[in-house]
Amino acid sequence: MPVQPRPPLPADAPAPAEAPAAPPAEGVPADHGIGLAHFNSLPFAAAEAAFLECCGSLRWAHRMAAHRPYPDLGALLAASDEAGYDLAPGDIAEALAAEPAPCLHHDAPRAAHLALRAAHAAYESRFGHTFVICLDAYGSSQHVDQVLAGIRVRLTHEVDEERAVTAEELRRLARSRIVELMTAGPGQER
């Protein structure tokens, strides 16, 4: 499936919210994006570790690190998508096992924590893995509602349908994390 660029936002549209970033990999500077040229020059193990922070499949991370150098961010993201589409069920299971469940800030109301915990439990009971969703298009104030709505809708899916949706969400999360890894400027949270 070819990568479709996102259409430009209207001039008066609010900027999309930034996704929560994965923690930096060992050997990758934590205070800023590493830049593609620097990333291409990292030792293989450091690049693979950085990719593992973007997607928890060792096969995916190994493939991404092995195909360096990438000429530009577009090529890197296209390679990420291609590698994501090639993941076997075991690779997806490995990536899901590395994913934290979307959670709330500890100051959120107790009722919200309980609702989210119950929704996650229902999802994990039905599908056998954590719920994953890419929330790039939403502000942080909308995350809880989007996660709960997503779980509610996705609980109605058949297992094969949910497997496909989950794989797509993993690809979207990997893309988001790669962009953050490459482009976060000094002083920006990662």
Q: Each residue of 54-63: pLDDT tens digit? A: 999 999 999 9
Rounded-to-integer distance, Cα 73 and Cα 79, Å: 10
Q: Residue 105 has what pLDDT?
A: 75
Rounded-to-integer distance, Cα 82 and Cα 70, Å: 14
Average pLDDT of 15-44? Answer: 57
Give the tokens for residue 125: 């009971």
Give the tokens for residue 8: 């430009």
Average pLDDT of 137-156? Answer: 90
More confident residue, 104 or 95: 95
Percent of the chain beyond pLDDT 90?
A: 61
Q: Residue 33 has what pLDDT?
A: 57
Mean pLDDT (the chain) is 81
Q: Does residue 96 register a pLDDT over 80? A: yes
Nearest to 99, CA basis, from 10, 172, 8, 27: 172
With 0-12 / 13-18 / 19 or more C-beta atoms within 10 angstroms meaning exposed / middle / buried, residue 82 is: middle
Per-residue confidence band for 26, with pLDDT thresholds at 50, 70 and 90: very low
Average pLDDT of 31-50? Answer: 85
* Cα–chain center distance at 166: 11
Give the tokens for residue 129: 């893995």
Average pLDDT of 130-146? Answer: 89
Rounded-to-integer distance, Cα 177 and Cα 66, Å: 18
Q: Using the structure block, give the residue that is written with the tokens 């959120």.
A: 108
Specify the range with the lowest mean pLDDT, choosing from 53-57, 115-119, 154-158.
115-119
Per-residue confidence band for 23, with pLDDT thresholds at 50, 70 and 90: very low
Q: Residue 81 has what pLDDT?
A: 97
